[in-house]
Amino acid sequence: MKVQELFNLNGKVALITGGSKGLGYIMAEGLAEAGADIILCSRNIDECKVAADNISKIGVKSKAYKCDVSDPDDVVEMVESTILEFGKIDILINNAGYATGGPLEDMTLEQWNKSFAVNSTGPFLCCREVGRQMIKQGGGKIINIASVAGMTTIAPELADALSYSSSKAALVFFTKDLARKWCKYNINVNAIAPGYFSTEMSKNVIEYRNKEMMNTILMKRLGEKEDLKGAALLLSSKASDYMTGQIIAVDGGVLLS
């Protein structure tokens, strides 16, 4: 098989949570450029529809659904609607995320629980529902969007968000253990752990802690669209058929600093 064929997603259907903006949209755009039809979901349906319309201009089919990934009923409805409309789901990217900052001694239980509801429970619910369909289909690709914050400690003056880092650490282990459990179904389960990209979630750190942040990035720059598109395409395509349970850090060397 030629290299181009390994990365070709023509005829594939990809579902991306939190796909209306930020990293989710970047990955959706990349997979669409490789030929995949794209389903985007978000709590903000208006933003999601605009994003889906933009994706469709690439030349693929794209659909937007309103979904709170921490709500089991929303997830079931989203997956059922996708199957009805597209007939299958080949790729699931669990990207929807939530972060709140502040020292643990000031954190409320509500803030802690919301981080886990979106960042850990959300991927569980989506994997459960989409996984049932992938098992019927005979396989699929699941990509969980973790974070370098879930793989190493971060100085409090740079980021003080223990609920976020803890929930992402849970997602890292979830990815590895689910990969072991679902190998028998031909389902590849991997994760991407992004470092610092310019998104709505990271703008405060970038604006107010830029010097401290750059001191932790060996490559001395923020992540760019192409950096993430390549990793997402790899894990979505046949090129990663022999990879499962892997956590790929796209971080410019943060984990090495």
**Least confident residue range of 113-117, 203-207, 227-231:** 203-207
Query: What are 37-75's pLDDT values in tens digits?
Result: 999 999 999 999 999 999 999 999 999 999 999 999 999
| CA–centroid distance for 24 within its chain | 6
CA pair distance 84, 90, nearest whole angstrom: 14
Express each pLDDT in 135-189 by its tens digit.
999 999 999 999 999 999 988 878 889 999 999 999 999 999 999 999 999 999 9
pTM of the model: 0.96
| Residues assigned a catalytic role | 164
Burial bucket for residue 160 (CB in 10 Å: 0-12, 13-18, 19+): middle
Q: CATH assignment of 3-250, given 3.30.450.20, 3.40.50.720, 3.40.640.10, 1.10.3720.10? A: 3.40.50.720
Task: Of 134, 107, 245, give the one whose Cα is nearest residue 181.
Answer: 245
